[in-house]
Amino acid sequence: MTPRPTRTEPSAADPAPLPAPEITEAECRRCGTYIAGLDGRYACGVCGWVNDHSEGHRRLPRADEDPDRPPAGRRPPRLLPAPPPPQNGR
Ligand SMILES: [Zn+2]
């Protein structure tokens, strides 16, 4: 028996991956805490300050570049289970 050749071609729908983000550091502009961010985008864990995404050094990936993006088409929102009925025991 001859094994079938398996061809692994890169799919055309796969765009070149974006370069990994770079870790940058700065001081929080609100409380002065030294914080680390990615590509110049920061979020302070102490006071909650965040800078605008446009201050980043590089563009952000688009939704269709997100490998974790759910497939097209919206799923209906998941309904939360109804709360248990009040128990008036006794
Ligand atoms: Zn802060």
Tell me the pLDDT tens digit for each residue of 20-73: 889 999 999 999 999 999 999 999 999 999 999 999 998 888 888 888 887 777
What is the rounded CA–CA span in Å between residue 60 and residue 21?
10
Higher pLDDT, 80 or 1: 80
User: Of 77, 26, 78, which Cα lies nearest the Cα of 55?
Assistant: 26
The CA 50 to ligand 1 mean position distance, Å, reads 8
Token pair 């870790």 is found at 23
Say how many C-beta atoms besides its own lie within 10 A of residue 49's C-beta: 15
Going by C-alpha positions, the residue among 30, 51, 31 that lies closest to residue 40 is: 51
> Distance from the CA of 37 to the center of ligand 1, in angstroms?
13
Distance between Cα 77 and ligand 1 center (Å): 35
Ligand 1 center to residue 56 CA distance, Å? 18
The model's pTM is 0.53
